């Protein structure tokens, strides 16, 4: 497994892969890798002889009072983990390498940029879409792998690829959870033992709502209340939204597949999760 630090090194690596007519998978991450990332890397490695994992804590997607400085960075451990899941290269550039000049061009989803997570994290999705577009352009991969854990993000990336004719296939994979249901996240390590215990309510609430859906409940407000009923130990709830899964917009009653998005704070840690209703 090799470490690529610059865009030139990445481009040269991609050229080399292409010269042998091999296909290439891309797994964009911010590092602090866990088995959730691992599932994306493994899916790519199963499909492509070459898999590039990008590790970049993207300043453009963090707000002024967010955890950019605190975000865990551990390149060597991440490289070992990426290799163990089948990556052939890690691209870990510096912020100056990715943004040699302040970017003047931002990619923004028109309808959903400021909704749900975007309402609480202004500019976040513009930062995400802009960096993902840059990484997709740099890597020219056949497929790029993303987790459904960040459901809104995945939805926006799919739409961006469609709208901008990005040829890389966007693959979304299921959320990997701890045995007790907590969705794996690099931010879980901020949680105290008590906060982690309290945070189990998120998945319990999502499961409770899914059970009601499976018993025929289609009213978004009722389903959202069922989730909220399990979030009593959250320090604050940012939102619970029950949405049409295809448009990611509210609907008076779920007629097709739905999704429930949740964001809540446990201590100072903001956790997000979701469940698809189908």
Ramachandran region, residue 262 (left: φ > 0; alpha: ψ -120 to 50; beta: rest) = beta
Q: Can residue 146 be called a binding residue for ligand AMP (CB under 6 A)?
A: yes
Q: How far is CA 55 from the centre of its chain?
A: 13
Tokens of 212: 């009601």
CB 229 within 8 A of CB 205: yes
Q: Can residue 29 be called a binding residue for ligand AMP (CB under 6 A)?
A: yes
Close Cβ partners of 48 (under 8 Å, ≥ 6 residues apart): 22, 23, 24, 25, 141, 142, 143
Of the two residues 17 and 131, which places its CB atom closer to ligand AMP in the complex?
Answer: 131
Q: In this chain, which stretch among 134-142, 179-187, 195-203, 205-213 interacts with ligand AMP, using CB under 6 A? A: 179-187
Q: Can residue 150 be called a binding residue for ligand AMP (CB under 6 A)?
A: yes
Binding-site string for ligand AMP from residue 32 to residue 51, where x marks contact by CB under 6 A and - marks none: ----xx-xx-----------
Q: Can residue 195 be called a binding residue for ligand AMP (CB under 6 A)?
A: no
Number of residues that bind ligand AMP (CB under 6 A): 16
Q: Can residue 186 be called a binding residue for ligand AMP (CB under 6 A)?
A: yes
Q: Can residue 184 be called a binding residue for ligand AMP (CB under 6 A)?
A: yes
d(CA 73, CA 138): 23
User: For the CA atoms of 149, 153, 159, 161, what is the dihedral angle to 10 degrees?
Assistant: -90
Of the two residues 15 and 268, which places its CB atom closer to ligand AMP in the complex?
Answer: 268
In 65-165, DSSP assigns E strands to: 89-91, 143-147
37 in active site: yes
Minimum Å distance from CB 58 to ligand AMP? 8
Residues that bind ligand AMP (CB under 6 A): 29-30, 36-37, 39-40, 146-147, 149-150, 175-176, 183-186
Residues annotated catalytic, as ranges: 37
């Amino acid at each position: 497994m090799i470490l690529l630090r610059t865009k030139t090194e990445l481009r040269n690596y991609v050229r080399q892969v292409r010269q042998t007519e091999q296909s290439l998978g891309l797994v964009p991450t911010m590092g602090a890798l866990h088995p959730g990332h691992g599932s994306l890397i493994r899916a790519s490695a199963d499909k492509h002889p070459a898999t590039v994992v990008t590790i970049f804590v993207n300043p453009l997607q963090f707000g002024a009072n967010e955890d950019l400085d605190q975000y865990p960075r551990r390149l060597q451990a991440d490289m070992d983990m990426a290799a163990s899941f089948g990556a052939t290269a890690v691209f870990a550039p510096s912020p100056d390498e990715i943004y040699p000049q302040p970017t003047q061009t931002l990619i923004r989803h028109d309808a959903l940029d400021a909704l749900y997570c975007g309402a609480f994290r202004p500019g976040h999705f513009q930062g995400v879409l802009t960096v993902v577009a840059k990484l997709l352009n740099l890597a020219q991969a056949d497929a790029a792998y993303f987790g459904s854990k960040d459901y809104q993000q995945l939805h926006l990336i799919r739409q961006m690829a469609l709208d901008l004719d990005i040829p890389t296939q966007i693959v979304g994979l299921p959320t990997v959870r701890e045995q007790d249901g907590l969705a794996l996240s690099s931010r879980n390590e901020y949680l105290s033992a008590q906060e982690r215990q309290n945070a189990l309510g998120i998945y319990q609430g999502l499961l409770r709502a899914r059970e009601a859906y499976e018993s025929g409940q289609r009213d978004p407000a009722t389903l959202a209340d069922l989730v909220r009923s399990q979030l009593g130990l959250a320090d604050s709830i940012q939102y619970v939204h029950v949405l049409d899964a295809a448009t990611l917009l509210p609907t008076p009653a779920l007629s097709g597949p739905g999704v429930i998005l949740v964001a809540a704070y446990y201590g100072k840690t903001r956790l997000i999760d979701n469940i698809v209703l189908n």
